[in-house]
C-alpha cells in the first residue's frame, strides 16, 4: 500500500511539474523570440555613428550640422592621407597595366602631335619609329618580372632623356615614368607581383568599405558605395577584413574546411603598404570619430536602396494609413452589428445564420482574404466604380479611374477591415452584454427610448470593453501581411500621394527585408530594426488594451 500511495503521489507531483514546465517554456519562448528582435532592432536606433554616417545623413537626408561635419571631415581626410599615399605608391609598383595603357596613349598623342606640327614624310617615320622603340622598351619593363631586365630597359630609356628630338614633347612623360618606376623596382619584389595584385585588390576593397570612395575619385552610382563604414561595429568588422586574410583550407582530404587567418601585414612585409595596417588599427578612432548616436529619425526617414541607409518612415506611414482606413470601415460596422445582435434580436434562425457567418469570417485564412480582396476589390468593384465615376458621372479623373484598377491602399484597407470585423463584433458584443441589465432597466424606467438608452447608458458603460477590442483589432490589422500582399502592399516605391496608390508597409517590409532583399542581408541591424518597429507598435497597442481592461475590470469589481 505504501508504494501505491508513493507512486500516486509521485505521479501527481510529476503532473504538476510538467504543467509548470509547460508554462515556463512558453514564457521562455516569448523571451527568446522577442529578446533578439528587440536587442538587435535597437541597434538600428542606438549605435556609434562614424563621421561617414553624419556625412551620409547630411547629403542624403539633409540632417545635421554641416559646418561641423565639414570641419571634422577635413581633419579625417588629413589623417587618411597617409593611407592613401601609401596605397598610391604601392599601386604604381603593382598595377602596371594602367602604366602600360598610359604609355600607349602617350605614343598615340605623340603621333597626332607630330601631325599637328606639320612634321611629315621621312622625318615623321623616323620619329615615330624611335618613339615606338621607347614605348616597347617601357612596356617590356612594366611587364617583366625580372629585376635585371627591368632595370636594363629603364636605363636604356633614360639614356635618351636629353635627346633634343623629344624635348618639350609628350614623350617627356616616358622619362618621368621610367624614373619613378626605377624607384618602385628597388622596393618591390617583382616576382610576387601576381600575388600582390590579387591581395592588393582585396585591400582596396576593404579600404573603400571603410573609408568610402577616395577623395577626387568619381562618385559611384550607388548610394551604398558613396560612403564608407557608417557605424562603429561595421568599422570593426571591415577592419578585420583589412587586417587579416581569411581562407578556408582543407587540412586533410574529406575533413571539413578550417578557417585560416594570416595577417596582411606579414604578407605585405617590406613593401610600401606595410605601415598602413598598423596605422589604421592604431588611429581608428581618429579616422572615424565615432559618437553615440540616437538615430530617432530612423522612424521618419526614407531609406535608400535595399534599406541600406536611412529608416523606415514610409513603412510606418503606410501601416498607419492601412490601419486607419481599415478601422474607419470596420469600427462603425462592428459596433452596430454588435448592438443589433445584443439589443434587437432574440435567438432565431436569421441571427443564428448571421452568427455562423461571423464565425466563418473569423476563421477564413488570411491569405484567402488576400485572394478575395484582389478578386473583388482590385479586379471587380473598384474598376467598375472607377469606370462608372469617370465615364457616367464624370467625378473621377482618368488617372483616378486608372489607379482604381490597380492594387491600392483603399482596397487593402477594406480587405483588412473585413478581416478584423469579426474581432470587433465579438469584443463589442461581449462588452455590451457585460453591462448589468439594471442599467438598461433604470434608463428605460426613466422614460428614455431604446435608442437613447443605448447611446447614453449602455454604450458608455461598455466603452472600455469596446475600446479594448478596437485596439486589439488595430494591432491585428497592423501586423497582418497576407491580406495586403496582392491588394496594396509593395516592397519598393515612392511614398503614396493618395489612398488610391499602393504603399509600403511594416509587415510586408519585414518579410521582404528578411528574405527578399540581397542588399538588406548586409545590414542585419536594419532587418531587425524594421521588425522591431512592427513588433513594438503591435505590442504597445496590446499592452494599452490589457491595461485598459484591467483598469475597467477593477472598476467593475469595485462597484
74-103 binders of another protein (CB under 8 A): none
Among 302, 340, 385, 548, binds another protein (CB under 8 A): 340
> For another protein, which stretch binds (CB under 8 A), given 15-23, 96-104, 210-218, 290-298?
15-23
CB of residue 479 vs another protein: minimum separation in angstroms?
Answer: 3
Size of the site for another protein (CB under 8 A): 97
Asked whether the beta carbons of 429 and 395 are under 8 A apart, the reply is no
CB of 328 or CB of 353, closer to another protein:
353
150-179 binders of another protein (CB under 8 A): none
The DSSP result for 389-430, as a single string, is IIIII--S-HHHHHHTTS--HHHHHHHHHHHHHHHHHHHHHH
26-65 binders of another protein (CB under 8 A): 26-27, 29-30, 33-34, 36-37
Binding flag, residue 187, another protein (CB under 8 A) = no
494-513 binders of another protein (CB under 8 A): 507-508, 510-511
CB of 361 or CB of 385, closer to another protein:
361
- Would you call 130 helix, strand, or coil by DSSP? helix
Binding flag, residue 328, another protein (CB under 8 A) = no
**DSSP 8-state class, residue 251:** S
How far does the chain reach from its first CA to its final CA, in angstroms?
A: 53
Neighbours of 554 (CB within 10 A): 9
Please return the burial class of 382, using the count of CB atoms within 10 Å of its CB with bins 0-12, 13-18 and 19+: buried
Structure-block grid coordinates of residue 397: 479623373
CB of 150 or CB of 538, closer to another protein:
538
Please return the burial class of 510, using the count of CB atoms within 10 Å of its CB with bins 0-12, 13-18 and 19+: buried
CB-based contacts of 163-172 (< 8 A; 24+ apart in sequence): 165/127, 165/130, 166/131, 169/110, 169/113, 170/106, 170/109, 170/110, 170/113, 171/106, 171/110, 171/131, 171/134
* Helical packing angle, 459-479 and 409-433, nearest 10°: 140
> For another protein, which stretch binds (CB under 8 A), given 5-13, 120-128, 208-216, 294-302?
5-13
195-214 binders of another protein (CB under 8 A): none
Binding flag, residue 341, another protein (CB under 8 A) = yes
CB of 211 or CB of 329, closer to another protein:
329
What are φ and ψ of residue 259, in 5° steps?
-80, 135
Among 50, 304, 481, 503, binds another protein (CB under 8 A): 481
Give the pairing type, strands 244-249 and 258-263.
antiparallel
> For another protein, which stretch binds (CB under 8 A), given 6-14, 201-209, 223-231, 272-280?
6-14
369-398 binders of another protein (CB under 8 A): 369-372, 374-376, 379-380
Per the rule left: phi > 0, alpha: psi between -120 and 50, beta: everything else, 62 is left
Among 357, 398, 455, 495, binds another protein (CB under 8 A): 357
Binding flag, residue 478, another protein (CB under 8 A) = yes
CB of residue 34 vs another protein: minimum separation in angstroms?
Answer: 7
**C-alpha span between 486 and 375 (Å, rounded):** 9
> For another protein, which stretch binds (CB under 8 A), given 90-98, 102-110, 174-182, 355-363?
355-363
- Would you call 97 helix, strand, or coil by DSSP? helix
CB of 26 or CB of 384, closer to another protein:
26
286-305 binders of another protein (CB under 8 A): none
> For another protein, which stretch binds (CB under 8 A), given 46-54, 221-229, 283-291, 329-337?
329-337
CB of residue 348 vs another protein: minimum separation in angstroms?
Answer: 12
Q: What is the CA radius of gyration of the chain?
A: 37
Neighbours of 15 (CB within 10 A): 10
CB of 226 or CB of 319, closer to another protein:
319
Site map for another protein, 399-418, x if CB under 8 A?
-------------------x
417-476 binders of another protein (CB under 8 A): 418, 421-422, 425, 433-437, 440-441, 444-445, 449-451, 472, 475-476
CB of 408 or CB of 510, closer to another protein:
510
CB of 269 or CB of 367, closer to another protein:
367
> For another protein, which stretch binds (CB under 8 A), given 57-65, 96-104, 309-317, 535-543?
535-543
* Helical packing angle, 274-282 and 232-243, nearest 10°: 160
Residues 6 or more apart whose CB falls under 8 angstroms from that of 482 comprise 365, 366, 367, 369, 370
CB of residue 497 vs another protein: minimum separation in angstroms?
Answer: 24
246's enclosing H/E stretch is strand 244-249
Question: Which runs of E-coded beta strand occur in 421-509?
Answer: none
CB of 311 or CB of 334, closer to another protein:
334
Among 478, 483, 229, smallest CA distance to 365 is for 483
- Would you call 534 helix, strand, or coil by DSSP? helix
Neighbours of 530 (CB within 10 A): 28
**DSSP 8-state class, residue 455:** I
CB of 10 or CB of 294, closer to another protein:
10
CB of 55 or CB of 517, closer to another protein:
517
**DSSP 8-state class, residue 162:** T
> For another protein, which stretch binds (CB under 8 A), given 22-30, 97-105, 115-123, 224-232?
22-30
Asked whether the beta carbons of 472 and 341 are under 8 A apart, the reply is no
Structure-block grid coordinates of residue 349: 434562425
Binding flag, residue 484, another protein (CB under 8 A) = no
Amino acid at each position: 500500500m505504501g508504494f501505491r500511495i508513493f507512486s500516486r503521489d509521485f505521479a501527481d507531483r510529476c503532473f504538476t511539474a510538467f504543467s509548470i514546465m509547460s508554462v515556463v517554456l512558453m514564457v521562455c519562448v516569448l523571451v527568446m523570440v522577442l529578446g533578439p528582435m528587440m536587442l538587435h532592432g535597437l541597434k538600428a536606433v542606438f549605435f556609434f555613428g562614424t563621421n561617414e554616417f553624419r556625412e551620409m545623413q547630411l547629403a542624403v537626408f539633409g540632417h545635421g550640422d554641416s559646418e561641423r561635419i565639414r570641419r571634422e571631415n577635413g581633419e579625417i581626410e588629413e589623417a587618411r592621407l597617409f593611407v592613401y599615399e601609401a596605397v598610391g605608391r604601392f599601386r604604381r609598383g603593382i598595377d602596371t597595366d594602367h602604366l602600360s595603357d598610359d604609355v600607349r596613349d602617350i605614343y598615340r598623342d605623340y603621333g597626332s602631335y607630330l601631325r599637328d606640327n606639320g612634321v611629315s614624310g621621312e622625318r615623321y617615320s623616323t620619329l615615330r619609329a624611335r618613339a615606338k622603340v621607347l614605348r616597347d622598351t617601357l612596356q617590356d619593363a612594366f611587364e617583366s618580372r625580372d629585376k635585371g631586365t627591368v632595370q636594363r630597359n629603364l636605363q636604356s630609356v633614360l639614356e635618351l632623356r636629353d635627346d633634343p628630338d623629344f624635348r618639350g614633347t609628350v614623350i617627356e612623360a616616358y622619362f618621368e615614368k621610367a624614373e619613378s618606376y626605377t624607384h618602385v623596382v628597388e622596393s618591390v619584389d617583382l616576382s610576387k607581383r601576381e600575388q600582390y595584385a590579387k591581395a592588393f585588390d582585396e585591400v582596396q576593397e576593404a579600404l573603400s568599405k571603410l573609408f568610402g570612395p577616395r577623395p577626387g575619385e568619381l562618385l559611384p552610382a550607388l548610394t551604398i558605395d558613396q560612403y564608407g563604414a557608417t557605424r562603429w561595429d561595421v568599422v570593426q568588422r571591415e577592419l578585420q577584413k583589412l587586417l587579416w586574410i581569411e581562407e578556408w583550407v582543407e587540412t586533410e582530404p574529406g575533413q571539413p574546411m578550417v578557417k585560416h587567418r594570416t595577417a596582411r601585414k606579414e604578407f605585405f612585409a617590406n613593401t610600401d603598404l606595410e605601415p598602413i595596417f598598423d596605422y589604421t588599427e592604431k588611429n581608428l578612432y581618429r579616422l572615424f570619430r565615432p559618437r553615440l548616436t540616437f538615430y530617432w529619425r530612423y522612424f521618419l526617414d526614407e531609406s535608400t536602396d535595399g534599406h541600406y541607409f536611412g529608416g523606415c518612415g514610409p513603412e510606418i506611414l503606410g501601416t498607419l494609413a492601412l490601419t486607419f482606413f481599415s478601422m474607419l470601415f470596420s469600427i462603425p460596422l462592428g459596433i452596430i452589428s454588435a448592438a443589433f445582435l445584443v439589443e434587437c434580436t432574440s435567438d432565431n434562425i436569421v441571427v443564428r445564420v448571421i452568427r455562423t457567418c461571423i464565425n466563418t469570417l473569423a476563421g477564413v485564412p488570411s491569405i484567402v482574404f488576400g485572394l478575395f480582396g484582389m478578386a473583388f476589390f482590385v479586379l471587380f468593384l473598384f474598376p467598375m466604380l472607377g469606370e462608372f465615376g469617370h465615364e457616367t458621372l464624370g467625378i473621377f479623373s482618368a488617372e483616378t479611374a486608372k489607379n482604381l484598377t490597380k492594387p491600392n491602399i483603399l482596397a487593402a484597407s477594406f480587405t483588412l477591415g473585413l478581416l478584423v470585423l469579426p474581432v470587433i463584433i465579438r469584443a463589442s458584443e461581449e462588452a455590451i452584454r457585460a453591462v448589468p441589465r439594471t442599467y438598461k432597466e433604470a434608463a428605460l424606467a426613466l422614460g428614455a427610448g431604446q435608442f437613447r438608452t443605448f447611446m447614453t447608458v449602455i454604450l458608455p458603460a461598455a466603452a472600455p470593453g469596446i475600446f479594448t477590442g478596437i485596439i486589439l483589432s488595430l494591432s491585428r490589422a497592423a501586423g497582418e501581411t497576407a491580406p495586403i500582399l496582392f491588394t496594396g502592399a509593395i516592397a519598393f516605391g515612392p511614398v503614396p500621394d493618395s489612398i488610391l496608390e499602393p504603399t509600403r508597409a511594416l509587415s510586408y517590409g519585414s518579410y521582404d527585408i528578411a528574405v527578399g532583399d540581397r542588399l538588406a542581408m548586409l545590414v542585419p541591424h536594419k532587418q531587425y530594426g524594421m521588425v522591431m518597429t512592427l513588433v513594438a507598435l503591435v505590442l504597445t497597442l496590446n499592452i494599452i488594451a490589457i491595461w485598459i481592461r484591467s483598469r475597467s475590470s477593477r472598476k467593475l469589481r469595485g462597484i
